[in-house]
Chains A and B, each alone.
Chain A
Amino acid sequence: MTMTKATDMTGSSASGKMNFGQLARDNGTFLALIALILINMIITPNFLQVQTLYVNLTQVATIAIVAIGMTLVIASAGIDLSVGAVMALSGALAPFVFLSEFGMASPGLALVLSIAVALLAGLLCGMFNGWLINQFAIQPIVATLVLFIAARGLAQVLTNGNLQVFDNPAFEFIGSGRVLGIPFQALMAVAFALILSWVVRRTAYGRYLLAVGGNAKAARLSGISVNRVRLATYAICGVLAGFAGMVVSAINSASDANQTGQLMELDAIAAAVVGGSNLMGGKAPIIGALIGAAIIQLVKYTLLANGVHDAVALIAKAVIIILAVYFQFNRSE
């Protein structure tokens, strides 16, 4: 029964201040992460080396960034299956711009423009999803299926299905640069998480988001424009996916429309759910999504580093998702 209380308090994640104590109570997700780190310190060779940390941070950042957007969408009682495809599109668009003749002519401007174009593509995809859901009352899972299929196709058409290899150190900074020794994209993931969790807790938009996800009808009758909130939410999710797509291209110094973001929608949903999201909406545990992404990454790393078959990591991920959901939602009943 006391567990119920704890879950409920974080259920309205917007209420109250965030602190480590509360995070620890937050369904044990945080404790699971700590435990995972401790286990690794014992069993995984070289776990505590900077290089290991660096590898993990680099890899987890994209999942985390997309999972943050997914958390917002899930909080609105929606889902976005198109994030992986949007990553492919944005990831392909950015090099497309700075590799063009214009881009070669004025590289500085082209860099800015390429990033802007990639983010704009994400924004438009997100807005398209939101528009479909609002305008035609289509369930999110079906509405975002459209771009899941079409956006990757667009990226492939754009690049003719080929790798676009490039050499552009300024752009590559997004994926391989370091600030104070920390991978740039990891910092960005944390920055996004902090900003958006502040937005959820402290702004009217955040309040509206939780209200729309919790009870859309009541929200509308309280003067909230449900459609605008949804549009904004899918748009944010799209922009974050677009950013993540650029990160992947920057890491590889190449865009790959076929592979970028493959199955990312699943990883993002998994991270959000492990982090405490409820598919029914009304909860936006953004820091939780960050932790969820970290757990999924660490499990994968632990297995790989200890020589376990790559595919087993998939099974492990499945088990983690089930356990996380089971303990979070069944204890609170």
Chain B
Amino acid sequence: MADMTSGERDLSPATGAIHRHYRQLLATRRLYSLIAVAGVAIVLVLALLFANEASSGKFIDRLPYLFDFIKNFVPDDPFEIVRAMFDLPSPYADGSFKYDYEVGRHYLFGTGFYIPEYFFEMLVTLNIAFASTLIGGLFAFFFCFLAASNLGVAGPLRWIVRRLFELMRAFPEIVLAGMMAAVLSLGPIAAIFAVSVHTVGALGKMFFEVVENADMKPDDGLRAVGANWFERVRFAIVPQVMPNFVSYFLLRTEINVRASTIIGAVGGGGIGEVFRQAIGRDHAAKTYAIVILLFLTIVAIDQLSGWLRRRLVGNAAFQFGA
């Protein structure tokens, strides 16, 4: 095949023309790529400059002080973190709230057994996350089929459902929680409401996109059998999309654990709220205890849901038709 690297004179006139045409296409494509890359680079630089102007401290100037906070914010000794985490009495106790870890204990069955404060608050947060993912997931599941364009749903209805999904995910959970706190007062119920609403919007969109990618041949088959719309959705679509639904649902669970934590900080209760109090009052040991607990919990939840996803879905996730 050594002769294949010779010049254009070896080609027929028609192929020569194709080659020139290809070179033209290539030149245009490269020009557009270059413009796009340059454009992105310029926008990125401008955005960072603007952010730097808008900040009170300048990023580069403040860089040397990056670790100052960690240096100054240290507990009296490392075991203070353990004591704060498990609500054990502190040797530094001076009657102030800073060292009074025992006050947060949640006693069960009389006085013998207690749940440490931060574990209890973590449970409150996880409860918010799981309850709202379930509620949101259920609504998303039942409405996503009305939003999909391939199931013959009437245009106006589809439009309304889609806009509803958009509206529900347009507001971040934290904004919804703030609004709900004004109505339902502070606490986990407002948080559950907020996270649920956002979950319906976010999962609903992912679900209906999965439905739109489904193979329609089984649907034709059941239509030919004389099945109605609900039966066709139930038997032609649901079995196909279930693995991806489960996958997205578990992913949302992970996201919602984080969202519920943040919501605590604006009055949603749970670990986020005690974290805000601890760091605001300069209680170093408590803050570290919460951060460690939070980190371990989130890692555990991510691992667990990843494991569950593989067990339930296997390789079927994000694959169609096979």
Task: Decide whether A and B assemble into one complex.
Answer: no
